[in-house]
Amino acid sequence: MSQKTEKLIDKKGLRLDGRKSDELRPIKIEVGALSNADGSAYIEQGKNKILAAVYGPRELHPKHMALPDRMVLRCRYHMAPFSVQERKSPAPSRREIELSKVIREAVEPAIFVEYYPRTAIDVFVEVLQADGSTRCTSITAASLALADAGIPMRDLVVACSAGKIEDMIVLDLMDIEDKVGSADVPVAFMPNLGVITLLQMDGILTHEEFEKAVNLAIEGCKKIYTLQKEALRAKYVSVKEVEE
Amino acid sequence: MPTFFERRQLVTPGDLLAEGDYVAGENTYKEDSRVYATRIGLVDYEDKKVSVVALRAFYIPRVGDTVIGTVVEVGFSGWTVDINSPYLALLKASDVLSRPFKPQKNDLTEVLDVGDLVVAKIVSYDRTHNPQLSVNEPGLGKITRGQIVRVTPTKIPRVIGKKGSMISMIKQETECHIILGHNGVILITGKSIEDEELAMMAIHKIEEESHTTGLTDRISQLIKKEKEKGR
């Protein structure tokens, strides 16, 4: 940070963008944004703009990678060169490779991977504009794209982050809060089953603070989950209306 | 033992459909005593069986299904056929030639080449092997003429209708010969292109409105109206 940190929380307890500590950024979700993909989703969470596309299940190439008893889930998280202030090299960075793995492992428990052995599902996550907690937003979008592709799933996966800024536990961190704040806890969650599929922590929190952050993130996940379901339904809403 | 949705209501993956002594049908799964949906679709409660009619799904081969596929590869002793499914199907040369097959003598591309369409039946398939096709039945084999329509594989039962009411009506009205592939590919051969186009339009209409009631009558009327116009 160039100059000494600006205040992240004002006297009224509001954050830089006017949110309360337990408030999410505004979210807009669209399912089926791409017509070429088998399934797709576009999500805007604050200034985050992320596109997810799913292809498959399909024959796996190279064939020796196929597994005899389950399908292979492949995931690519990629940030567009224009997604951040300073141009990002389009080549996959160490961070992107790691996030690809993180996203894959967060959505895999939701998929009935053993149903279609010897096949592969490809998930492409493209970050068009990044503003903190992109891994969470990506997971939310990826699971929607999977559901849109007709892949059998136990539940939709939702993800949301919580963190600590200026000794306060807050929900859904944005970029500056992540960089200046002291801790970040991304959580991915399957609300109907009550299962956490991703839990990370970057920074230092006490035991109590950590618990508070996780619970806050789960509350956030549940809120996003309703939006997620709504978006998935919206694509098929015409179907619902004409029912007898 | 409650159920949580009305019949034919739209559900998404993970929705709790029923709790208690229920049997998990298609596109659902049971954990402990709770039944959840695995796909987006419309719920159906039938006695103790809970199932979901999927709105989005892909074709999974079943032994005995008729499918229409595209040849994608010619090998030494057979063809690889894309049947619009996660798995590629195999068609053996000996099956098509129906006589002893000698790789030195017969050129397989003369019989079927890449890009050719075939109507075939699935004779074997399981989790460990790709589906195998056969054309050893009347009506099966290479497609030489007609039009192809592709629909979502889940909509095929609707195109057939109750006891084949829908498909037989279309056949009668348009005087076309129609072969339904269970993989969502439909072949229409008629006396004229106009007839074929009429049948194609009807099938597209069915796909769009597959979930509405009284569809057979409406499609029948639509075809009659279009026929009038054509004259």
pLDDT score of A4: 53
User: What is the 3 state secondary structure string of chain A?
Assistant: CCCCCCCCECCCCCECCCCCCCCCCCEEEEECCCCCCCEEEEEEECCEEEEEEEEEEEECCCHHHCCCCCCEEEEEEEECCCCCCCCCCCCCCHHHHHHHHHHHHHHHHHECCCCCCCEEEEEEEEEEECCCCHHHHHHHHHHHHHHHCCCCECCCCEEEEEEEECCEEEECCCHHHHHHCCEEEEEEEECCCCEEEEECCEECCCHHHHHHHHHHHHHHHHHHHHHHHHHHHHHCHHHHHCCC
Say if A184 is an interface residue toward chain B (CB within 8 Å): no
**B112 pLDDT exceeds 60?**
yes
pLDDT score of B110: 87
On whether residue B59 sits in a domain, the answer given is no
Q: Which of the residue ranges A79-83, A206-210, B167-171 would you say has the lowest mean pLDDT? A: B167-171
Check whether residue B83 and residue B138 sit in a common domain: yes
pLDDT score of A64: 92
What is the arithmetic mean of pLDDT over B145-159? 90
On whether residue B173 sits in a domain, the answer given is yes
- In the block, tokens 């799964």 appear at B29
Check whether residue B72 and residue B96 sit in a common domain: yes
Q: What percent of chain B has pLDDT over 70?
A: 98
Q: What part of A 198-237 touches B (C-beta under 8 Å)?
A: 229, 232-233, 236-237
Q: What average pLDDT is seen over chain B? A: 90
d(CA A216, CA A168): 12
- In the block, tokens 């594989």 appear at B153
List pLDDT tens digits, range A118-131.
999 999 999 999 99
On whether residue B3 sits in a domain, the answer given is no
Check whether residue B130 and residue B172 sit in a common domain: no
Check whether residue B15 and residue B86 sit in a common domain: no
pLDDT tier for residue B13 given thresholds of 50, 70 and 90: very high
Judged by CB atoms closer than 8 Å, whether chains meet at B211 and A68 is answered as no
Side-chain half-sphere exposure of B219, counting CA atoms within 13 A: 32
What is the arithmetic mean of pLDDT over A204-216? 96
pLDDT score of A243: 46
Suggest the residue from B4, B10, B72, B210 to mutate for an interface test with chain A (most A CBs closer than 10 A). Answer: B10
Q: Which of the residue ranges B60-64, B111-115, B160-164 would you say has the lowest mean pLDDT? A: B160-164
Domain at B156, CATH number: 3.30.1370.10
Check whether residue B137 and residue B113 sit in a common domain: yes
pLDDT tier for residue A212 given thresholds of 50, 70 and 90: very high
**A214 pLDDT exceeds 90?**
yes
Find the closest chain A residue to B85 by CA distance.
A58
Find the closest chain B residue to A193 by CA distance.
B14
pLDDT score of A177: 93
> Which residue range forms the structural domain that includes residue B113?
66-142
CA B100 from centre of chain: 32
pLDDT score of B34: 93
pLDDT score of B200: 92
Residues from chain B contacting residue A154 (CB–CB below 8 Å) = 13-14, 29, 36, 38
Suggest the residue from A116, A122, A140, A225 to mutate for an interface test with chain B (most B CBs closer than 10 A). Answer: A116
List pLDDT tens digits, range B175-225.
899 999 999 999 999 988 888 999 999 999 888 887 777 788 888 888 888
**A104 pLDDT exceeds 50?**
yes
d(CA B116, CA B97): 16
**A111 pLDDT exceeds 70?**
yes
Check whether residue B70 and residue B19 sit in a common domain: no
**A244 pLDDT exceeds 60?**
no
Check whether residue B118 and residue B92 sit in a common domain: yes
Residues from chain B contacting residue A231 (CB–CB below 8 Å) = none
Residue A152 has its nearest CB partner, among B15, B27, B88, at B27
**A242 pLDDT exceeds 60?**
no
pLDDT score of B108: 86
pLDDT score of B1: 66
On whether residue B29 sits in a domain, the answer given is yes
pLDDT tier for residue B101 given thresholds of 50, 70 and 90: confident
What is the arithmetic mean of pLDDT over A56-60? 91
pLDDT score of A1: 46
pLDDT tier for residue B127 given thresholds of 50, 70 and 90: confident
Q: How far is B2 from chain A (nearest CA, A)?
A: 17
Check whether residue B106 and residue B37 sit in a common domain: no
**Which is more confidently placed, A93 or B94?**
A93
Check whether residue B136 and residue B78 sit in a common domain: yes
**B109 pLDDT exceeds 60?**
yes
Contact at 8 Å (CB) between A144 and A156?
yes
Find the closest chain B residue to A155 by CA distance.
B14
Q: How far is B5 from chain A (nearest CA, A)?
A: 13
Judged by CB atoms closer than 8 Å, whether chains meet at B39 and A244 is answered as no
Q: Which residues of chain B are at the A interface, by a Cβ-Cβ cutoff of 8 Å?
A: 8-10, 12-16, 27, 29, 31, 36, 38-40, 42, 54-58, 60, 86-88, 127-128, 209, 211-213
Q: For residue B153, give the DSSP letter.
A: G
Say if A153 is an interface residue toward chain B (CB within 8 Å): yes
Check whether residue B35 and residue B108 sit in a common domain: no
What is the arithmetic mean of pLDDT over B23-38? 94
Residues from chain A contacting residue B56 (CB–CB below 8 Å) = 39, 148-150
Check whether residue B188 and residue B138 sit in a common domain: no
List pLDDT tens digits, range A1-17.
445 556 888 888 899 99
Residues from chain B contacting residue A233 (CB–CB below 8 Å) = 10, 12
Domain at B48, CATH number: 2.40.50.100
Judged by CB atoms closer than 8 Å, whether chains meet at A193 and B40 is answered as no
Check whether residue B89 and residue B138 sit in a common domain: yes
pLDDT tier for residue A239 given thresholds of 50, 70 and 90: low
- How many domains is chain B built from? 3
Judged by CB atoms closer than 8 Å, whether chains meet at B128 and A116 is answered as no
CA A93 from centre of chain: 19
Strands B66-74 and B78-82: antiparallel
Structural domain ending residue among the three candidates B84, B113, B142:
B142
What is the arithmetic mean of pLDDT over A43-66? 94
Q: For the domain bounded by A27-237, which CATH number is listed?
A: 3.30.230.70
Here the tokens at position A94 are 């160490």
